[in-house]
Amino acid sequence: MDHFKRAFSVELLAAHKANRGIASLLDRWVLPGQDAGDYGLRLAIRNGYLNFYVKGQSVGELRLVKGSPRLRLHCKYKSFVKKGSLQAAPDSQLYQVVNADELGRIGPDVIDKWIRTAETYAGDEKRFVDDLIAVTPNVIDLEMGLPADEDAVGKSRTAPRMDMVVAQGCEIAFWEAKSSVNSELRARASYRELTDGGYCEGPHVIWQLRRYERWVSRPARRSQVRDAYVETARILLDLAELSGKHGPAIDAWRELAASGEKATVILPPGIVIAGYCPPSADGLSRVKSSAYVTKTKSFSQHRVRLLRHGATVVALDGRPSSPVLPHLSSGSISVEEHGLSEEAIGA
């Protein structure tokens, strides 16, 4: 079983703080709870490296190899190739590594070109995630990947990525972000699973949440996730100090870091839904077709079904300007729908 872990040596990175490319990347890092603007980056801790994102789209991975920084990024970013114009290339040529010497010669103008190109690949839901991070200071991770479990059966061995991980004081909670037009939220049929845990029919997002819940709720995984995110909070604090960052995220990270083994993992994840279309890379609002508008307006009936499975659902009509995610509590996502009154649902 692959161990779920978060680790990175900020002390080793500090030795390269004067490197122009490293300095530019850290300068572009914007903490949760603050608007990233046009060139701001979000940062996620992985097991041994940092992942930088623009509008929810991964830009590059920064590793320390024998103490020396290496930035791995897709060739389409390094070549400034915008979406739709990249020629097919062998897998071995899809990613390029920028070593310490090259990073030292790169100025902020080149970094900004990489960022701007990567942004053209960010879809609506990724942009929505960045809108949420801008008003959610307690974010500690995005695109949380879950390794496979060898001892589990069928579809339960793995689970898809979780969009956001947040610190609720000494608690660790998760959110799945979707656009209201996403077909995974919608179904006429009642939810059903196969005997091996696979998806059969009904709202696909219920299957996702149940897979998350099964994966994290295993005793070994739950303690791994707890320890990994307490360590994540510590690393984020060290990185913020190294790069001179300040903001409301610091207090949230500090509280979780201090909790240690007292930290708890909250399940199931919540669902946060965008009933709006974020602006594209050129800053212009996307044209909404009549079909898009109709789908957005029809989401309320599908929201009721999700609630009846025990899901926490937050639906937004426009880009948030203040915190919108409630404190999640322990519960479960049921296979069967349970009757709820309109008053309980808030319809």
124-162: per-residue pLDDT in tens? 999 999 999 999 999 999 999 988 776 666 555 566 789
d(CA 315, CA 271): 8
When pLDDT is averaged across residues 19-34 and rounded to a whole number, the result is 97
Q: Is the pLDDT of residue 163 over 50?
A: yes
d(CA 295, CA 68): 50
Report residue 87's pLDDT band, with 50, 70 and 90 as the boundaries: very low
Phi and psi, residue 120, nearest 5°: -65, -15
272-329: per-residue pLDDT in tens? 999 988 887 766 666 566 667 777 788 888 999 999 999 999 999 999 999 999 999 9
DSSP, collapsed to helix, strand or coil, labels residue 200 as strand
Q: Is the pLDDT of residue 80 over 70?
A: no
When pLDDT is averaged across residues 90-117 and rounded to a whole number, the result is 86
Report residue 2's pLDDT band, with 50, 70 and 90 as the boundaries: confident
- What pLDDT is stored for residue 263 in this prediction? 98
pTM summary value: 0.92
Q: Which helix (H) or strand (E) holds 54?
A: strand 49-54
Q: Is the pLDDT of residue 28 over 80?
A: yes
Burial 15-33 (b: 16+ CB within 10 A, else e): ebeebebbbbbbbbbbbbb
- What pLDDT is stored for residue 90 in this prediction? 45
Beta-carbon contacts of 243 under 8 Å, excluding residues fewer than 6 positions away, are 26, 27, 29
Which of 34-38, 69-73, 275-279, 313-317 is predicted least confidently? 275-279
Domain residue ranges in the chain: 10-345
Report residue 27's pLDDT band, with 50, 70 and 90 as the boundaries: very high
193-202: per-residue pLDDT in tens? 998 888 999 9
Cα of 232 vs its chain's centroid, Å: 14
Average pLDDT, rounded, for the chain: 89
Q: Which residue has the tokens 């913020």?
A: 240
Q: Is the pLDDT of residue 85 over 70?
A: no
210-255: per-residue pLDDT in tens? 999 999 998 899 999 999 999 999 999 999 999 999 999 999 999 9
Q: How many CB atoms lie within 10 A of CB 159?
A: 25
Q: Which helix (H) or strand (E) holds 129?
A: helix 124-133
Kindly state the percentage of the chain with pLDDT values over 90.
Answer: 73
Q: Is the pLDDT of residue 181 over 60?
A: yes
